[in-house]
Amino acid sequence: MSSPIEGLQFPVNPATQKPSTSQTGKAIVSEALSLVDHKISQQAAKEKDWRKNYPIYFKALVEQGIAKTANPITIAKQGLHKAHHSFEFYRNGEQYLLKDVIQVPNIAEFNTIILKGESQEQPEWYVPYQGQKLQGQALLDQISNWEQRGIIEPSHAQALREVNAHPEWFDLSDRTMVLFGAASEAGPLTWLAKWKANIVALDLPNAKVWDKILNTIQKGNATLYAPSLEPINDTTPSYDLKDKLGANLLTQLPEIAEWLIKFEQSLDLAAIAYLDGEKHVRVSMAMDTIMSLVSERKANTSLMFMCTPTDVYAVPKEVVSAAHQKSLDRSTLQKLLTKGISTLSLKHFFKANNQDLIRSDNGKEYGIADCLVIEQGPNYALAKRIQQWRATLARHDGQRVSINIAPSTTTHSVTKNPLLKAAFNGADLFDVEAFSPETTNAIMAALWVHDLRNDQSVANPENQLEHPLELMMEGANHGGLWRVAYLARTALPFAAIYGFINDKIPLKKR
């Protein structure tokens, strides 16, 4: 006998009586486009091969977003409205629209467990990189190296220099930072635990997960706040806590929202939870719902997101010029080889990264960096787009929003896909760098601190942007993907081949 459906779910297709991720994705993207381009909106709604052709419509979201400075807000409002009126929440056999989830009856109350770290060390920051702990001048030299090679954008380099120059920013004893998916491999937990932060950790009720979180906290100087449905007294030994803590974002969404709303402190909410496949969309919607509910009830709530580089973005004109120059600077042999392969493959491979500039109504021209990877699928793209929409809309409404593109990182969730693992191994063939998790963690945690501490940051809504999409352009660490000479996904198979070979027989890049 199958168990009843519980928690946040994709809507059921009336024709099949089964959930359809493609139908839902199409409907949300179509609605997002409906007021800015009716024709492409209708085309998306009628798309017969969403799994293959979804990049067309995600690129259209960016194209239309660039055209008018009002469009990104319209797109975000339409897309999020459709999503919250589409997804459903089930509790005890009753069905609710996600937008009404806080009206679920008999919401249980979490107990709050507080645990203080045992370290007395002062906060410090360094970047683990290729076996070294980069600090001081060595770190500044590496930042310059990444910037000169086009691995990171100048605004990202400048943010890292700013935090390096302000070590006092890393004392986070005045911040209460909520981590959705606290044990995430690419998340900032390890660093926040060294920076005296008040950490509100949310992750699944899983002993292995909480053993990791508790050990990290105990080694550091931070304070942990964790949820538990059962009362726990002060005499409970810490080694027993791992079996008693945790909350499920998908099934205990209203409980989590109510728990967070009751915190007296202002909260910094970080949407870093990740799940595979269609669950990634659902967990993104869960985080989005909780963020919205908490933000409505608690003033001074800030939001944090980490974007993926394998997406499609509006980019400054200078980035388009740099990609074009990289194409011109290729060796004669490389030009001949890639042109031959492109011709033989009917231009499926090594497609030139030629992007027309789009003039916005603000008088500026922007390009598009289309780095979508088909293999990651439309659910992944939708989950990350939901986060961009919320960030764009929240900042527009006056919230502080930290949203930065994190580099391609060799986390377990990425490297368990053999193609992506091999492609990252061979990424340097195209002047792209994939980062280890410990390097990404250190850099992105520092970027969050920068966005909270530096009032000149674009995270601060008082700093006017010339275009809402510049929020995602600033502070980007795309690992070089924006400036590749080819459309990234058309070079991926050859990066993978190079990576497979290099893994077996290490080659020297010439």
Alpha-carbon Rg for the chain, nearest whole angstrom, is 23
> What is the rounded CA–CA span in Å between residue 254 and residue 402?
25
What is the rounded average pLDDT of the residues 227-251? Answer: 85
Residue 77 is assigned to a structural domain of this protein: yes
Which pLDDT does position 500 carry in this prediction? 47
**pLDDT tens digits, residue range 108-135?**
999 999 999 999 999 999 999 999 999 9
Predicted confidence (pLDDT) at residue 342 exceeds the cutoff of 70: no
Band (68; pLDDT cuts 50, 70, 90): very high
Band (76; pLDDT cuts 50, 70, 90): very high
**pLDDT tens digits, residue range 18-41?**
889 999 999 999 999 999 999 999
Phi-psi region of 9 (alpha: psi -120 to 50; beta: other; left: phi over 0): beta
Residue 334 is assigned to a structural domain of this protein: no
Which pLDDT does position 322 carry in this prediction? 75
Domain count, the chain: 1
> What is the rounded CA–CA span in Å between residue 458 and residue 469?
11
Residue 332 is assigned to a structural domain of this protein: no
Predicted confidence (pLDDT) at residue 74 exceeds the cutoff of 90: yes
Residue 59 is assigned to a structural domain of this protein: yes
Which pLDDT does position 409 carry in this prediction? 80
Residue 318 is assigned to a structural domain of this protein: no
Residue 467 is assigned to a structural domain of this protein: no
Which pLDDT does position 498 carry in this prediction? 46
> What is the rounded CA–CA span in Å between residue 351 and residue 486?
6
What is the rounded average pLDDT of the residues 295-323? Answer: 92
The encoded tokens of residue 384 equal 């990350």
> What is the rounded CA–CA span in Å between residue 392 and residue 403?
9
Which pLDDT does position 269 carry in this prediction? 98
What is the rounded average pLDDT of the residues 325-354? Answer: 53
| Threshold 0.85, pTM exceeds | yes
What is the rounded average pLDDT of the residues 478-488? Answer: 78
Instruction: Report which of 335, 330, 250 is spatially closest to residue 284, judged by C-alpha positions.
Output: 250
Which pLDDT does position 231 carry in this prediction? 84
> What is the rounded CA–CA span in Å between residue 201 and residue 311?
28
Predicted confidence (pLDDT) at residue 333 exceeds the cutoff of 70: no
Which pLDDT does position 419 carry in this prediction? 57
Domain range for 68 is 7-108
Residue 460 is assigned to a structural domain of this protein: no
- pLDDT above 90 covers a percentage of the chain that reads 72
> What is the rounded CA–CA span in Å between residue 136 and residue 141?
9
**pLDDT tens digits, residue range 138-188?**
999 999 999 999 999 999 999 999 999 999 999 999 999 999 999 998 899
Instruction: Calculate the average pLDDT of the chain.
Output: 88
Which pLDDT does position 428 carry in this prediction? 58
With beta carbons less than 8 A apart as the criterion, state whether 250 and 286 touch: yes
- pLDDT above 70 covers a percentage of the chain that reads 83
**DSSP string covering 358-394:** EE-TTS-EEEEEE---GGGHHHHHHHHHHHHHHHHHH
Which pLDDT does position 237 carry in this prediction? 66
What is the rounded average pLDDT of the residues 301-325? Answer: 89
**pLDDT tens digits, residue range 374-433?**
878 999 999 999 999 999 999 999 999 999 999 888 766 655 666 565 556 555 566 788
What is the rounded average pLDDT of the residues 346-368? Answer: 78
More confident residue, 488 or 280: 280
Residue 76 is assigned to a structural domain of this protein: yes
Residues 6+ positions from 506 with CB-CB distance below 8 Å: none
Predicted confidence (pLDDT) at residue 251 exceeds the cutoff of 60: yes
With beta carbons less than 8 A apart as the criterion, state whether 115 and 241 touch: yes
